[in-house]
Amino acid sequence: MPELGPPPQRITVDADQVRRLVAEQFPQWADLPVTPVADGGWDNWTFHLGADMSVRLPSAAEYALAVDKEQRWLPVLAARLPLPVSVPLGRGEPGAGYPYPWSVYRWLDGEPASADRIADPVRFALDLAAFLAALQTVDPADGPGPGVHNWFRGGTLRTYGGEARRGLAALDGHIDVTLARKAWDDALAARQDGGRRWFHGDVAPGNLLLRDGELAAVIDFGTCGVGDPSCDLAVAWTLLTPEGRAAFRDRLAVDDATWARGRGWALWKTLVLCAGSLGDTGAAAGPRRVLDEILADYLSGGRSTTSRFGVGA
């Protein structure tokens, strides 16, 4: 079983460095303004390039492993998906003191998804499910399997067992650790059918763009790959409402074992966030709400709504 290594050693990048990189390697865009993107992500430093493009530069060597994957596969995936996704316009090389490959993308307009910005939670859930369903139908042949390039998304949850156990230990006395541990153990035990399908790997609010409250684009495929797509189900608890969660599951026709594994992906990350926010009431509120949703869903057997798209029981 693969083990997670130490956290990546991130580097910083500034706008002047990006201007020099663009001028040296893409002189046709040398006169365009370069400005940092607020909240541009963790794995990459992101900058606006003019009005219609963005530059993404990996912040660590591990994240740079995704550059060639995205260059190779995003044009293939984009042609088969019902919503716009980031498509690379150019591949940059190390230079100007920056040590990794990097990419230029077409800029996609929209604001990051959040519960208060979504106009219709059920419609949003159905649109997201339709996108993931289309992604899973793309031919997986030759697609990248789980590995360091995507932090073993699409592989076994056991890769994250150490982090989950440490989270449970830290939270003892703060949450129902017995129930959380049982939910985690059941997720580990949930069978896999062995099928290999495409997945995004990080279906999180910051990677889902809204326009007028509706899902308009999906970005950041750095953790994408081919394997078990249950990792993409974590969003059901981290963003969707109970009604949206039911619609999402029905649209994807998710069986009980896959749902349990998806719940395990959400539980792993939420345990880490809850443990990290102990003593900080403000920071803890969001993860604790998600944890409550996860454990309630576990107790209900994954059927916490009364009927198709119904109101939570």
Q: Can you give the CATH number for the domain in which 97 is found?
A: 3.30.200.20
Q: Are residues 138 and 283 in the same domain?
A: yes
pLDDT of residue 2: 66
The answer to whether position 8 is within a domain reads no
Final residue belonging to a domain, choices 107, 140, 163? 107
pLDDT of residue 309: 32
- The CATH number of residue 268's host domain is 3.90.1200.10
Q: Are residues 221 and 170 in the same domain?
A: yes
Does the pTM exceed 0.85? yes
Domain that holds residue 204: 112-299
The answer to whether position 308 is within a domain reads no
Q: Are residues 96 and 130 in the same domain?
A: no
Q: Are residues 123 and 28 in the same domain?
A: no
- Yes or no: say if 157 and 261 are a contact pair by the CB < 8 Å rule: yes
Q: Are residues 265 and 234 in the same domain?
A: yes
Q: Are residues 145 and 99 in the same domain?
A: no
Q: Are residues 185 and 78 in the same domain?
A: no
The label of the residue with tokens 């709400």 reads 289
Q: Are residues 214 and 293 in the same domain?
A: yes
Q: Are residues 225 and 280 in the same domain?
A: yes
pLDDT of residue 203: 98
pLDDT of residue 304: 58
The answer to whether position 309 is within a domain reads no
Q: Are residues 242 and 260 in the same domain?
A: yes
Final residue belonging to a domain, choices 80, 107, 134? 107
Q: Are residues 226 and 93 in the same domain?
A: no
The answer to whether position 137 is within a domain reads yes
Per-residue pLDDT of the chain (313 residues; tens, 9 = 90+): 566 778 899 999 999 999 999 999 999 999 999 999 988 889 999 999 999 999 999 999 999 999 999 999 999 999 999 999 999 999 999 999 999 999 999 999 999 999 999 999 999 999 999 999 999 999 999 999 999 999 999 999 999 999 999 999 999 999 999 999 999 999 999 999 888 999 999 999 999 999 999 999 999 999 999 999 999 999 999 999 999 999 999 999 999 999 999 999 999 999 999 999 999 999 999 999 999 999 999 999 987 543 333 333 3
The answer to whether position 312 is within a domain reads no
Final residue belonging to a domain, choices 90, 107, 124? 107
Count of structural domains within the chain: 2
The answer to whether position 174 is within a domain reads yes
The answer to whether position 290 is within a domain reads yes
pLDDT of residue 39: 81
The answer to whether position 310 is within a domain reads no
Q: Are residues 79 and 184 in the same domain?
A: no
